[in-house]
Amino acid sequence: MPMSAAEIEHAILTALPGATVELTDLAGDDDHWAAKVTAPQFAGISRVAQHKLVYAAFGGRMGGELHALQVTTVVPT
């Protein structure tokens, strides 16, 4: 069963307190998501490291329960 938007947002916010998350269901199937994550934890680290922080929020659920997640990261100004 795919992860709901609420579950995705909760996982990210738990891993990155103070973040904001904007989700878009890319295919209308609750299985292919785009997430724009703005988080203070991203300051001073590479884009790759930022994405790894987001993906780490899902543990072993990436590729299974959460099939696809397109990530855009933003450092708050």
The domains of the chain are located at: 5-74
Cβ atoms of residues 63 and 27 within 8 Å:
no
In DSSP terms, 77 is beta-bridged to: none
Q: What percent of the chain has pLDDT over 70?
A: 100
Lowest mean pLDDT across 1-5, 20-24, 35-39, 73-77: 1-5
Determine the residue type at 7: E
Q: Full-prediction pTM beyond 0.85?
A: yes
Residue 32 has pLDDT above 80, yes or no: yes
Q: What span, in angstroms and rounded, lies between the C-alpha atoms of 46 and 70?
A: 17
Confidence of residue 68 (pLDDT cuts 50, 70, 90): confident
Q: What number is the average pLDDT over the span 14-26? A: 97
Residue that is written with structure tokens 């909760």 in the block: 10
CATH number for the region 5-74 comes to: 3.30.300.90
Residue 62 has pLDDT above 90, yes or no: no
Question: Of the candidates 73, 77, 60, 59, which has an alpha carbon nearest to the alpha carbon of residue 21?
Answer: 73
